[in-house]
Amino acid sequence: MNAGHVVPRMAAVSAPARVARAGDGIGVQELALAGRNHALPLEALRHEVTPAGLHYVLTHYDIPPTDPARWRLTVHGRVGNPLNLSLAALRSLAAVTLRVTMECAGNGRAQLSPRPVSQPWLDGAVGTAEWTGVPLRALLAAAEVAPGAVEAVFTGADHGVERGVEQDYRRSLPLAVALDPERTVLVAYGMNGGPLPPQHGSPLRLVVPGWYGMAAVKWLCEIVLTDTPFTGFQQAVAYRYRRTADEPGEPVTRIAPRALLIPPGFPDFMSRTRVVRPGPVLLEGRAWSGHAPVARVEVSADAGHSWYDAELAPAGAHPWAWRHWRCPWTAEPGEHVLAARATDAEGRTQPVHQHWNRGGFGNNAVQRVPVVCL
């Protein structure tokens, strides 16, 4: 359970983290990531529950080959009763279905200046699904958590190299989060009523309501309870808020508030600029926060000079899912920049200009949607 085994010759394939120079376009390595992973096309915000193929996907290494019929999930370490479960055994336990909005911690990274070189997300690395599975706390209760356990460490079957470190994808949660009755961390085998698709972790993944997606380990095969905090690569090296390469930084955890507009009108193919007709236009979208319910969404049609309160859909039965909002607007001929800004019940709001960090994490700067009214 250390940061992984650094193989010296792995440096041949694996360069240190870096930020792009001012003015540098997206490089071919970033493009290769952008081509395999994908965002939610923003018009798909119209779906309250995102169809699987439209939900954002981020895979660090390859989507591994998996066989549901032979899959095993082991639970061991600081437990009194280690478990070794087939998928059938998991499916025989009491199941719950939760609607959860998941967002990549790197969403917005490509809009930072200078740009951290990694998966170059603009603003669509988000999606909402109905996840079905077994509450993690039920599994841990069956495994009988031993005294002194402080974290649960989750291992996925995806294997690769990152910054010279060969590893299976592995992340931990504090036991207080893993057992939190408010949050219901899920060991999920279903998505939107069907089995998990390969790219979403088939046959088993973690879902951590309110946390960025790096916590939601896919292709989950092992849970180890430990008596010391996990210091593996994805915990201690990646997914930290830091300004310089050599500071330890703060861990990336919960999702900062964000609102996104369904871009109105129709787009130009290449510029993606939106065209709307003069007259009434209903601006609408969704908003979420991993800290507290969204309490307010404001909309601007003049690039943030003035703001109007949007109407929020009633708080529903899905506290970890995004909330729909709407705001009427009358479009007049000319160019406009639309924007929306979410504030949660604990008073967190979105910045107009992003605070930069070296990993490009937690970038929830206000979305800007240029529109031409013709």
Residues 125, 114: Cα–Cα separation, whole Å: 20
CB of 214 to a copy of itself, least distance (A): 12
- The nearer residue to a copy of itself, 33 or 95, going by C-beta atoms, is 33
Residue with tokens 């240029």: 370
Per CB under 8 A, which of residues 178..237 are in contact with a copy of itself?
A: 197-200
Should residue 10 be labelled a site residue for a copy of itself when binding is judged by CB under 8 A? yes
Contacting a copy of itself (CB under 8 A), which of 43, 302, 309, 311? 43
Those residues with Cβ within 8 angstroms of residue 251's Cβ, 6 or more apart along the chain or in another chain: 235, 239, 240, 241
Q: Does 303 bind a copy of itself (CB under 8 A)?
A: no
User: Site residues for a copy of itself, window 101-140 (CB under 8 A)?
Assistant: 110, 117-118, 120-122, 124
Q: Which of residues 263-302 bind a copy of itself (CB under 8 A)?
A: 263, 266-275
Q: Compute the distance between CA of residue 224 and CA of residue 155 in angstroms, rounded to an integer.
A: 8
> If you ran DSSP here, which 8-state letter would residue 75 be given?
E
Which residue in the block uniquely carries the two structure tokens 């209760």?
141
Contact residue for a copy of itself among 53, 279, 328, 347 (CB under 8 A): 53
Q: Is 352 in the site for a copy of itself (CB under 8 A)?
A: no
Nearest to 102 by CA among 195, 263, 217: 217
Query: Does residue 29 touch a copy of itself according to CB under 8 A?
Result: yes
Report the residue number, 51 or 279, with the smaller CB distance to a copy of itself. 51
Residue number, 139 or 366, with CB nearest to a copy of itself: 366
* Residues in Cβ contact with 272 at an 8 Å cutoff, skipping those fewer than 6 apart: none
For residue 110, what are its two tokens? 């490509």
The span of 59-67, 136-144, 314-322, 340-348 binding a copy of itself (CB under 8 A) equals 59-67
Smallest distance, a copy of itself to C-beta of residue 3, A: 15
Smallest distance from a copy of itself to CB 220, Å: 18
Distances (CA, A) of 334 to 13, 269, 301, 369, 370: 50, 20, 12, 14, 11
Does residue 61 touch a copy of itself according to CB under 8 A? yes
The residue behind tokens 């639309």 is 338
Find the part of the chain contacting a copy of itself (CB under 8 A) among 60-68, 129-137, 175-183, 245-253. Answer: 60-68
Given the rule CB under 8 A, which of 88-96, 153-161, 207-215, 286-294 is the region that contacts a copy of itself?
153-161
Among 2, 46, 279, 282, interactor with a copy of itself by CB under 8 A: 46
Q: What is the sign, positive or negative, of the torsion defined by CA atoms of 300, 305, 308, 309?
A: positive
- Which of 75/196 has CB closer to a copy of itself? 196
Q: How far is the CB of 4 from a copy of itself (least distance, A)?
A: 12
Residue 70 binds a copy of itself, judged by CB under 8 A: no
Give the residue with the Cβ less far from a copy of itself, 60 or 99.
Answer: 60
Q: How far apart are CA 36 and CA 196, in angstroms?
A: 18
Q: How far apart are CA 364 and CA 353, in angstroms?
A: 9
The reply to whether 335 sits near a copy of itself by the rule CB under 8 A is yes
Residue 276, token pair as written in the block: 């709307």
For residue 227, give the DSSP letter.
S
Q: Name the one range near a copy of itself by CB under 8 A: 83-91, 210-218, 261-269, 350-358.
A: 261-269
Any contact of residue 24 with a copy of itself (CB under 8 A)? yes
Picking from 19, 359, 361, 8, the residue whose alpha carbon sits closest to that of residue 165 is: 8
> What separation in angstroms does the CA of 276 have from each of 151, 281, 311, 323?
51, 8, 22, 25
